Chains A and B, each alone.
Chain A
């Protein structure tokens, strides 16, 4: 892969519409990016994350394909969450946390100082391990992002909320109670609501950190089905402890161990023919 790019330019390319691409920051020269679902959407190069002196993610280099689902697996404490949260710079919240190496999203280094983090996060959405809807109404939860990004028109909002709730396969369950507090929903519904909320800002990459670990099997199936329908439109990274889940939903799988990326490949290959000894031990359940 080539990383000869430096213009700090990012845009959700819409070559057909001819719409002018948006820029992540004011500096840099706009340059039409490559298009197509098979391009590399996210590239890391010797990317490390530190908590103080503790190197939680160690020199990881990987490539995430646009429109694909990539699963990240590994034993507890191996740095999966840390890595995922580094992608939309959620780790900025932790004072002791800093990074080394490069993380390139749409041809631009996420950690370059010119980056507008807020805008980056709009384009890289996230669903958390524990469902975390706002203590607001269901409608307001989904409408939060669109409102934030300037949609004021009520009709437009209603339409968008419905669309996202349908996308998250939640619409039928909540259409009569949009004005109720979201905390009154079940855990599985809350998680789908969070997904709808993330979808409503129309991100390009969706990060999911163990999105089903707090859910029962039925709700888990729901979410997995959802991931299948979102594939193609969104680039999805999902952290999971559930090997079956990784096998079911993902195209590619990355195996982390103690901060290192041990192996990454097509899900089918990795699960049937792991190259590394560690990977094999892990997926056959000998540790972790």
Chain B
């Protein structure tokens, strides 16, 4: 080949390599930056006085005197609103029935919108759900709710050729010419004094359990559940996987049966995870009944099956990669097979095995499908270790899915969902980082 052709080839290969690596990095950034930007909102956000009140009343957190003072101040600005509404209710009594009916309906709507923003109207019985007991605790949500108070959303179907168009109409128009007309401008002007937004750091998001279906509190049960599931999977998969790998490399006769076994294992690694999930339900719960119904144990076993092929393959490769000379040295000193494996092969293969383990651990942490039928529930308390044998648990991957699709108020708890995503991604990243460090340390120890 001519020199110039060779050079051109080298160049284009380099360029191609750079291009694909750049593409990967860009994709990673495009995914990770928004994940971080949004997920961080679960930890650092602008809270309202309602959040401080909730923290004080439900968790006994914060400085009581200071918060009481803030509530007092907030009340000063709220009171006129409620008073004017009460006065207006009085006024419409004397109107003609037609107008009365319309104003009453408009008023009911207004009160509902207002209670979403500020919490229940004073004097009404305290609702059971936390989310109804308090106004908006997050300023970003409060701004949306304020908009809902100030504007009425309607659908415009006037153009028959097009789909309906969302239009907003000022709510104040409903009350044009009445004493309530000014209320809306006042509310808009005073809303900062009413809700007193302030930046806060909610690091306890990681360690609080959730309340009222994830409306409040943190994601500790999910984190703990994920942890249990992954740990359980590891407990089952690591010993089985390594022993299987030892058998395949050192003990099995290298014949047709073994190679068949090997390709089955590779095939298993490619089976869709939902199939494992269904198998886990059918086998672990319905057939052998490790637990009455969903449980962490059943989920762990299912996840273990899922990652077992990966662990076996990685361990096998690692053991195979140990120089034959080590093995020969051990055997020549009179070591038996088992002793050679335990004292020479496994220690030398450890970096590779560890990498395989951590990679599959990342997989176990993130898998959703296998635990849907075997372990996951959407809300739950943090489990004690002994409860994992019989009880289901919430877990990060499943709850991310759940909160974004099946939750009753998906829009209201986006921040929790994003916080979970950030936590899960960080967890996987940390695991991979740990793998790299561990591997480096172990191989440095081996290399001397």
Contacts and interface: CB of A to CB of B under 8 A. Distances in A.
A126 interface: yes
Max chain B CB contacts within 10 Å: which of A121, A125, A130? Answer: A121
A3 interface: no
B330 interface: yes
B326 interface: yes
B344 A118 contact: no
Interface residues of B, number: 24
Interface string B328-357: 111111111001000110011000000000
Interface stretch (A151-159, A181-189, A229-237): A181-189
Tell me the dominant secondary structure on chain B's binding face: helix
Contacts of A130: 325
A198 interface: yes
A126 B332 contact: yes
Given A95-B254, A144-B343, A181-B445, A122 B334 contact: yes
Contacts of B447: 135, 181, 183
Interface string A139-178: 0000011001100000000000000000000000000000
Given A144-B343, A181-B448, A135 B332 contact: no
B334 A145 contact: yes
Nearest to A123: B334
Contact of B334 (A149, A182, A183, A194): A149
Contact of A90 (B326, B328, B343, B445): B328
B323 interface: yes
A-B pairs, 6 with minimum CB distance? A181-B448, A122-B334, A132-B325, A183-B448, A126-B332, A184-B448
Contacts of A90: 328, 331-332
Max chain A CB contacts within 10 Å: which of B254, B327, B333, B347? Answer: B333
Given A181-B446, A183-B446, 8 more contacts: A126-B328, A128-B325, A135-B445, A135-B446, A148-B335, A181-B445, A181-B448, A182-B448
Contacts of B446: 135, 181, 183
Contacts of B333: 121-122, 125, 144-145, 148, 197-198, 201
Contacts of A128: 325, 328-329, 332
A88 interface: yes
Interface in A198-234: 198, 201
Max chain A CB contacts within 10 Å: which of B323, B328, B448? Answer: B448
A118 B448 contact: no
A282 interface: no
A123 B333 CA distance: 8
Interface of B: 254, 323-336, 339, 343-344, 347-348, 445-448
B331 to A, nearest CB: 6
A148 B334 contact: yes
A88 B333 CA distance: 10
19 contacts: A88-B332, A90-B332, A93-B328, A95-B254, A118-B335, A121-B332, A123-B334, A126-B328, A130-B325, A132-B325, A132-B326, A134-B348, A135-B348, A144-B343, A145-B334, A148-B335, A148-B343, A181-B448, A197-B329
A149 B343 CA distance: 13
Interface string A103-117: 000000000000000
Contact of A180 (B336, B339, B448): B448
Contacts of B332: 88, 90, 121, 125-126, 128, 198
Contacts of B326: 132, 134-135
Nearest to A200: B333
A45 to B, nearest CB: 24
Given A135-B348, A144-B343, A93 B445 contact: no
B334 A135 contact: no
Contacts of A201: 333-334
A267 B328 CA distance: 30
Given A144-B333, A145-B333, A180-B448, A132 B348 contact: no
A95 B250 CA distance: 12
Contacts of B445: 135, 181
Nearest to B343: A144
A1 to B, nearest CB: 27
Nearest to B443: A135
Contacts of A118: 334-336
Contacts of A181: 445-448
